[in-house]
């Protein structure tokens, strides 16, 4: 867990604000006992979590594709090639939505703006370390060379985040 106490407070506020903005149907499906609190979100989102990420085309169509999501300090991060369609979209239209949905019993959905970050920047040293902690054990030490070869990463600055879990029977 990389979140500070301040990160958890900000995440709690985002979750509460997002839920309050939900409509009748959302509140029928995501009842209070089906929501996760900030600590529960952080506990469940360890390591790499597959996200379905939606970007927006020039003519306003959503385009969805899978990305590796890393939840770090209360935000989703994801990477891709700098030449990817998704990063071409994000550079011009940074609005994104993403959902982590490992099964019907649990989901985390976020809507916001993608902010491209520089993982080589000293300000991103903690996130870079988190990436290495996830991927070096999986792919070996050469993954750090890959990281330095030019993939692009972005952080989702969320306007809304909604969680769902089926409580145990």
Average pLDDT over residues 132-147: 94
Average pLDDT over residues 52-57: 97
- How many helices, marked H, and strands, marked E, lie in the chain? 6, 6
CA dist 169 and 52 (Å) reads 28
Average pLDDT over residues 57-68: 95
**Whole-prediction pTM:** 0.93
All domains of the chain, ordered by start, with CATH?
5-162 (2.30.110.10)
pLDDT at residue 64 tops 90: yes
CA dist 87 and 55 (Å) reads 9
pLDDT tens by residue, 2-18: 999 999 999 999 999 99
- What stretch of H or E contains 24? helix 24-29
């Amino acid at each position: 867990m990389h979140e500070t106490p301040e990160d958890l407070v900000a995440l709690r506020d985002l979750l509460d604000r997002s839920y309050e903005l939900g409509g009748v149907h959302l509140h029928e499906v995501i009842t209070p006992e089906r929501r996760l609190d900030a600590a529960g979100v952080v506990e469940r989102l360890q390591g790499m979590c597959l996200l379905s990420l939606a970007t927006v085309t020039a003519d306003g169509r959503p385009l969805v594709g899978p990305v590796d999501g890393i939840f770090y300090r209360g935000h989703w991060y994801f990477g891709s090639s700098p030449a990817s369609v998704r990063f071409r979209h994000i550079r011009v239209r940074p609005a994104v939505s993403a959902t982590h949905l490992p099964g019907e019993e649990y989901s985390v959905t976020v809507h916001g703006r993608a902010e491209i970050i520089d993982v080589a920047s000293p300000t991103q040293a903690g996130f870079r370390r988190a990436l290495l902690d996830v991927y070096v054990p999986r792919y070996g030490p050469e993954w750090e060379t890959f990281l330095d070869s030019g993939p692009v990463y972005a952080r989702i600055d969320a306007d809304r985040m909604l969680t769902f879990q089926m409580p145990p029977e």
